[in-house]
Every structure is written in structure tokens, then in C-alpha cells.
Structure 1
Amino acid sequence: MSSSAADQTDVDLLSRTCYREGRRIPWESGITVVTPLNRNRWTLNIEGTLSFQKQHQAQLRVFVSEHKWKGSQPTEEEALMVLSYGDDSSVPVPAIFMFVPGMPVVVNRNTYQGLKLVNGPDYKALDVIIDEAYPGHRISADAILHFGPHAGILLAAESTEAFSFVGMPPGTVLLIPLSSKLECVRRRPWQRHDVTRRGLPCTAAFACTDYKVQGRTLERVALELRGTRTTNVCGQAIPSQCDPYSLYVQLSGSSSLAGIMLPSKVRERDIIGNTVPENMVAAEKRLEELSEATIQEAESWDWPSPPS
């Protein structure tokens, strides 16, 4: 497919090998779901978090981010819509953060670049620091609800193994809340008031966008080969064609065909003839040529010898 030669044979192979109607996502296997649709990602991360909690028989904490409205107060309907709107590329703070010790999370904003706490990589969420202003309310034997964000969350990853901060467990880094503005924009026609949301700029990493998995190799992955937009057809939301770059990133990030699961049936329009535009191919080729020419020129320079 990367050679732009995908045909019906590829569609049949993916359908036969990777898709099974009615099959549930096996979260307990450590699978990662890649989806271009944010709303699907939000729902899948809730499902993944609840499955992780059940698998590890751990306590669940649900934190509702703080919201402050500009001007007059919103209607109940608008407030509920804002609370159901998660994170995206312009809104790093989700409306609700569900925490289970040991769960994987991804940071949505470059926070401490010198400490490698940046947008993209996976981290393990070890513990949370509760804000006394938002005490917990037990809603079941293993679930606690907080009507506000936590004061911080302890994260760990390979990039943090050498860290040692006073008062913190070795190999961890602390992520604290920040504020993010949700302004009235066309893609949220129901929003009538600007609102500031305060909470942690991170979310569960059971489901990610194709952007967040670029450069990674995943042994077990569920791919949603769909576009980033939906069209209403007879009252049903139909996803647009899968972007050719997204198609390449998703399929190339899988270590083997056997490790791929397709939650949705393969569509011919997402595979056959779904190629990168010719002008983009030409632009990429030009950039490669310029890069090679720059390297060759630099290699021809008379560089001074390093000091002994």
C-alpha cells in the first residue's frame, strides 16, 4: 500500500485476516486503538479505563475539570455539551479524567521539555495528589468522584528513570493542572459562551490518534481506517475517506498483519486508489533532494579539528 498499488486483493486480505463482525476489543491484551475521530477516542478511552480497572481490581477516581464561564451562565444543555467535549489539538485538558493506578496516559502539551515531559510519548500514571478543595465522594465500592481536578499526577517512563526529586518517588515526574480556553468556534455550534477549563493536560492512552503513534511500532493494535470528519446520511454519521497519510502511518506502525484488528469493516474507498496527491509526492521528493544536497555540501567543508 505504501507503493500506491493497493487493490481489491489488499481489501480482501485485510477483511479476511483482521476483521471479525461483532468482535470486542480485547483490552486485557494491552492492545492500543488508533482512531482519527476524537469523539470515538474519548469513548474508547473510557471503555479501556474501565476494563483496566476491572482487570487489576483497582480503585477508580473520576475528576471533573473546573469550568469558568465568561459573561452570563450557560444553559443546562450547553453546560452538558461542554462537559461531554473532551480534549483535542486545541484543547489539551479533557472535561473528565478517569484515573486507575498504573494506567497508560499521554500528555497533550509540551510541559517540561528539559525533563522530556512532552506531547506524544506514553507514560505510566502511578498516583494522584488530591486537591483538598475537591474532596472525593464515594459513588460505589471501587469508584470515587471529585468535582474538580487533582493537584497533580505522578508519571513514569523510560525517559524519567534517572530522575530523583526531593519528596517524590525515584524515576517519576509531576504533572500539574493548567488552564485552557474553549472559545466559540464553528465546529461547536452549540457553544454560546467562552469557557476556561482547568485540569491536567493528559488523557488515557488506550486509544490514540494516528499523530500520537507516529514513529512507534505496536505489536497489538486496533485500527479505525476512517477519515477525521463525518457526513450525515439519512440520520447516520458516515466517516469520510481515510487520509492517505493516516492510512500509511497506521499500517506501517503495526509489527505484523497478525497483530492488527479492525473494529470496523474495511471499505474499498479507504484502500483502493487512496494515494498521496502528486503535488505532495513532488514536494516530498524535492525536500529529500534538498536534504541530500545540504548533507553533501556540509561534508565538503573544511571543519576544524576538535580540541584535544
Structure 2
Amino acid sequence: TTKAFRFPNIPPGTVLIPSQKHSVETHDRKTCQRVGLPCTPGFALTDFKSQGKNLENVILGLYGRADRRQDGTWDKCEFTCLYVQLSRCKTLQGIQLLKPVSVGDFVAIGPGQGMVEAISKLDVLSRQTISRWKQAHPEER
């Protein structure tokens, strides 16, 4: 990258990719040349948009939805987003991370408060439904 160098009109951190020339001989023994960048085109997807896809290689940023906190640190990734991102790639070898993660990053991730409250509410509703059904159908116990 250009991080340690200064080039006019090129921002620091720019990755310089030199072009390459490729020659191919045609069926009538003529040579065809092409000059291009040695890159494979890629694309970016959100975790939501990637659901249901199986990808050979992925580069993941396992951080939260906000860009950054006031102190410059990244938010933690929600556990559902983490699952979706990590499960899109067919192999572990096909996953690359934009930043290192620690075991603590994974252990600290859990359902958000809204999810915990929703699960608790569903648990209460489930118990109430079962209780009402048993009262309405005592012969089916």
C-alpha cells in the first residue's frame, strides 16, 4: 500500500496494482494481446442480502451496524448477523476477516435485549396457551 509513501494525488493506504499484458495465439497463428488488471471482480452484500447464498470465498467485517463508536472502537456484531455471515461460506478456508477477532468477541455476543424480552413473552404465552387447552380438554390428558 501507499501508507508509508507519498504520491501526488493518490491517497495514503491506496493499493497499487500494476497492469499485466497477456498474449493469446489465435487459430490462424496471429497473436492477440490484452492489457488489464490482475484482479477478480467482487461484490459487497449485507448479511441480510446474503441469506440463502453459498459462496466460495468471503471477506467478513464482523462488527455491528453502526460505523464506529465515539471512542473509535467497533460495535459488537449481533449474534444473528454473526451466524448469517459465518455460514455463507462453503468452507472455513474460504473465510477472511477484515480485522482480528478474539474468543472474547464470540463469547460476549448474545441475543439483544429486545430478543430476550420477545422470547420471554413467547414463553409466557406458550404456558398460558397450554394451560387453557388443558382446562378446555380435561379428557385428553
TM-score normalised per structure 1: 0.25
* More relative contact order, 1 or 2 (CA 8 Å, 6+ apart): 1
Q: Which has the higher strand share?
A: 1
